[in-house]
Each structure stands twice: as structure tokens, then as C-alpha cells.
Structure 1
């Protein structure tokens, strides 16, 4: 008899591979050689079988909420639509109705993973990734880089560009030492500085760069911004904002163990809190999504913060397996 490997012992790399197979089998144009490849992968060892069983069980928990995620999470919906563009329909017959239904939402889970349960494809090339709630400091090119929760980076050196990192997702603070230039690539933007302190946040295709001390240059296809102390700019794939000033109390709040909000829409507040806890928060009440929130919460007490927000806005709360927290 073959002994099954406990789910907790399934290697992360195998689970990542299993999600790739799940997506391929349920959302594309499967070729005979691909199906044979999956069979060989699945039969390679009990660990491979346990990994695939694990991801199917996880998806069984997430599937009921996938449609709601598409409805309420605009970045997930956009990425899902792009993911579906150009796909042939031939595999629908191969999968049958149940497989086709799963395909409609499986792409959301793979390309835009809920709750950080597994890294998104954009983050698979990371050299370093912090876990949920983890904060880590490291030295890169004689500079101190502090990574916030759920942050993925790739170090760069030896090419024609200055030393630095690619910020694939998340948030990081940079305390530069020495006179050598340092560059942070996040999406289409490049942030360059020498002997400065600054922070870069890059989530769902949107970046925010804040200068704490010194000066920072942000280059974007749509323009260049030169930031000085307590100045900030934001950009996405298409444009870069004008420079704005920030309150000193809000700068580096996460490094002090706080989250600070100033007239921030409730949906954005919940998305920020979501990054520091396992699972996912889903807001199902559209009437309060844009309600402003002003205040600060301790990162160590975010469950208390959720309770406060629930009562403040008169919401009903429901907890589901896998750390899913529904507010309606």
C-alpha cells in the first residue's frame, strides 16, 4: 500500500506546479501530449498526487466566492478578462460542463491568487518573498532594503543598469548608503536615487513612490518626476500623477507597526488589511465600498480593527474555511 503524504508536508514547489496543471487542464486548448505530460507528472510520486489533491481541495473552498471576487475586485476581473482573450473553445467539449464552469473561475485563482495562498505568475521569478505578516531587512549593494508583508523582489546586478531590485509585488523601504546610484524597477516605472531614503509600493499594477529624505527620480514612459522630502507620486501602466505632499505621520507607518488612513475608501482599507492576515476579506456591500475611513490601526491587532469597521458601517460578518472573511 502506498502511504499518502500529509497535506502539511507537500512541498510548496509541487503545489505551485499543481496549480499550473489545474489551470492548464481547465482553461486552455489541451493537446494530447499535454494530457500525457500531466499523467506522467501526477504519477511521478505520492507527493505529486498529494499536491494535486491539496490544490483541488483548496479550490473547492474558494470556488463559491470566485464569482464575487470577479464582481468586486476590478484588478482581478481585468486580469481574468485578459487571461481569457484569444482562447479557443475546443477544450470545452473535452472537459464537459463541469470543467468549463471551473475554467471560468480557475484563471482568477491562478493569475490573481486570493489571500496570497500561492504566488501569482508575475512573482514566480522572485529571488526573495516575504510571507503573510512577515517583515524582513536585507542588504543590497551596501543599502538596507526592508520588505513588508507579501513582498516579492528580484535582485539586479551586473547589467548596464545601476544596482538595485525589481519589485515584483508588495512594498519595500530603501535606506541608501554610499555614493553609488540605486534603482528600483516596479512595473513600467524606474525609481533612481543616491544616498536617499524612500519607499515603493507596487500592487495590482499600481505604484506609489514616497521620498522620505534626499531626492528621488521616478522615470515613466509618460514622464519624469523629481521627488524631495515628504513628496509622493503614483503611476500605473498608462500614466504618472503630479507630485503631492504626504503627512509625516503616514510615512513609514508600517515600519512602526501601524496602518494609517486619511479619508481612504473602505474597500481600499480592507484590501490593505487583507495583506497582513491569512485568507481573504470579501466586501459584498457595494453601498459602503467608497465610505471614507480616517484613523490608524495596529498591525498586531487587525482582527480588532475588522470588528471596529464592521460595527462602524453596520456590516454583518461571516467567517469561512481557509481564512475567508465575508462582510455584507
Structure 2
């Protein structure tokens, strides 16, 4: 979609603006967007406050229904027929309290949404849940404390002489004393993690779980296999198998507990992906060469957009700001 194609002689109705805003988001997240598209979108948003508001609301909706919209974007019907376009949702449905009911009725609120891009019903019903940018510390028993990172859902269960923690999604740092009244087991994506007198980090991204041992040692059982992870080691498992065990600076992995993100020679593309976990809206990287640049930085969690100033000043990147917390780096 090009801006010139959207020229109108009069202010379009809400339905038209909503549809156009959704089409812009489909373009922006298609992987084929260019800097010219970003400029055209910025001009479209600046036409009126209604245009800017429509894009901001579409972006918030995309945060919740992104995988559904992406699936529609990939269908040939979307590209070839108006009838297959994403249906416009009225503002009153989006902003009103009936939105959740509308989503459920439409069948969008499935047990585990694709790409885990929005909270599932199971996540929303968790014993403990943190929102975007939120952290929480809980003590579930004498000798066990858990720090929850951003966008994390977790359940706590007592099963006989075992204390079971279920990490549904997100990231948790767990500290376990040597002497416990009952054994602690952490379950995540089909695997079981256990340890005593240890401190470790568990991160669950969909079907993939990464375990980092900061102190002591932890055991991991997954798909009929078992590994023992020592201090300063990290391993991931997914799709029925373990990845390669590697040495890691656990203080970097767990720096979020102290309110910082630390990057040491990390490609900018990975930094952007990580930063997006901690902010509303999204940062979109549209320059492949820029994405390969290595980043050395320590960024406060309450100022994650400091990354933007860093990239602009250090690499001369161009930054385009759009409604709804969308920032485009090119």
C-alpha cells in the first residue's frame, strides 16, 4: 500500500480509517517494508488526529491479535480480494469491556496462541502474572524465592512432599536454600528442573526453554533425557531434545533482577528483540546491515528506549516515530 493510493478528497469514516490502519500494520510487519513505506506511513498518520488514533489503536489490537493478523496477511486471498481483508473492529468494541468476550467468541483466545505474542487464557488465569515492564518477587516457602520478569505467568502447586512451580511463559529467577521441607520442581514446556542450594534462571519462549545456572547445580529432565547443569552453564531444550551446553556469564543473564539489561557484543537485531519484551508497541528494525552491528550496553529497564538514542548516536541510524509506541530503525 502506498500513500498516494490512499489520497481522499474528504475525511474517511471510522471504518475506512481502521481498515487502512490495519493494512499499514500488515505491511509494516510483513518483512518487506522499506524506509519509503515508513515515511509514507508517517505522512498518513499526520493527516489528522483521527488517522494517528486509528493507527495507535490498530497497533494495540495487533499486540493482542498479532498472530491471527499475520496469518491473514500470508493468505493469498488477503492480497487478491477485498473480502479477505482483516475485518475492521469498531472503536467501541476495542475500547469497551466487551472486547475480551468478543475475542473469545471469535475463537482467538486459544490455549497457547502462535508465537506466544499475546496472553493465553491459561496465562491470564495464572497464580502470578506480570505485565509489560513489570517485575515481581514472591516467596512461596521458607528457603524458596522467585523473581518474575516482564510478561511472565507462573503457577504454584503443592503435591505431597513436592513443591511444584509451573512456568507457563516468560522468565523466572529461582533461589533455593539447601534445606527444604519439600522438594522443589520447576516445570516448563514439558521439562522438569530441580535443584537445592542453588540459584538459576528459567526462560520459556513458547516451546523452547532456556536454563541458566548461577550458583550450585540443577538437574533437568526432558523427553526421557537428563542433564546436570553446573554453575555458569546454560542449556536450552525444545522439540524433544537438548541443545549444546555452553558457558555463560549468569550475572549478565540475570541482570534484569537488578533492573538492567546488559549486552556484550550482542547483534543489534537480538538487542531489539529483547528490548521489545519490556515495552508497549514495538521497535521495528528495517536495516539488515544495521541489525548485525554489535552492541555493548547496560540499559536501565525503566529507560529501555535509551537504546534508540544509542543506536542513533553510535551508528547514525534513522529513527521514525509512529503512534502506538512504534519506532522504526533504518
- Report the TM-score when normalising by structure 2: 0.65
Query: Hey, what does 1:209 align to over in structure 2?
Result: 211
- Counterpart check, 1:66 vs 2:26: yes
Going from structure 1 to structure 2, the CA distance change for 1:100 and 1:144 (only over 3 Å counts) comes to same
Question: What is residue 221 of structure 2 aligned with on the other side?
Answer: 219
Q: How big is the shift at 1:252?
A: 2.0
On the 8 A contact 1:211/1:232 being kept in 2, the answer is: yes
Distance in 2 between residues matched to 1:70 and 1:192, nearest whole Å: 41
User: Measured at CA, do residues 59 and 185 of structure 1 come closer, stay the same or move farther in structure 2, by a change above 3 Å?
Assistant: farther
Q: Which residue of 1 aligns with 2:51?
A: none
Contact 2:130 2:136 in 1 (8 A): yes
Contact preservation (8 Å) 1:216, 1:227:
yes
- The answer to whether the Cα contact below 8 Å between 2:22 and 2:86 also exists between their aligned partners in 1 is no
Compared CA separation, residues 254 and 60, structure 1 to 2 (3 A): farther
SS in 2 for 1:165: strand
CA RMSD, Structure 1 to Structure 2 (Å): 3.8
Q: What CA distance in whole angstroms lies between the structure 2 residues aligned with 1:62 and 1:128?
A: 33
| Map of 1:155 onto structure 2 | 156
- Equivalent in the alignment of 1:186: 188
Residue in 2 that maps onto 1:176: 176
Listed one character per residue, the Cα deviations across residues 168-220 of structure 1 (whole Å, up to 9, x for unaligned) are 21111111233332122221322111232111111243322111222101122
Shift of 1:166: 1.7
Question: Quick one: distance in 2 between partners of 1:260 and 1:183?
Answer: 29
Contact 1:140 1:164 in 2 (8 A): no
Match of 1:293 among 259, 283, 295: 295
Distance (whole Å) between structure 1 residues aligned to residue 317 and residue 25 of structure 2: 18
Q: What whole-Å deviation, never above 9, does each CA across 1:15-66 have from its counterpart, x for those lacking one?
A: xxxxxxxxxxxxxxxxxxxxxxxxxxxxxxxxxxxxxxxxx99997555223
1:305 match: secondary structure: helix
Quote how far apart the aligned CAs of 1:167 are.
1.2
Q: 1:253 aligns with which of 233, 252, 255?
A: 255
The aligned counterpart of 1:318 is: 320
Q: Per-residue deviation at 1:258?
A: 1.4
2:138 paired residue number: 138
Query: Does the 8 Å contact 1:127/1:154 carry over to 2?
Result: yes
TM-superposed CA distance for 1:150, in Å, is 1.2
The yes-or-no answer on 1:284 pairing with 2:286 is yes
Q: Is the 8 Å Cα contact of residues 210 and 236 (structure 2) preserved in structure 1?
A: yes
Change (3 A) 1:306 1:236: farther
Q: 2:84 aligns to what?
A: 100
Contact 1:141 1:164 (8 Å CA) reproduced: no
Report SS of the residue matched to 2:278. coil
Residue 88 of structure 2 corresponds to residue 128 of structure 1: no
TM-score, reference length from structure 1? 0.66
Provide the aligned length of Structure 1 versus Structure 2.
255
Distance 2:192 2:308 in 1: 35
Structure 1: gaps spanning 5 or more residues: 1-55, 73-78
Shift of 1:238: 4.1
**1:233 and 2:235 matched:** yes
Within 2, Cα distance between the matches of 1:165 and 1:59? 43
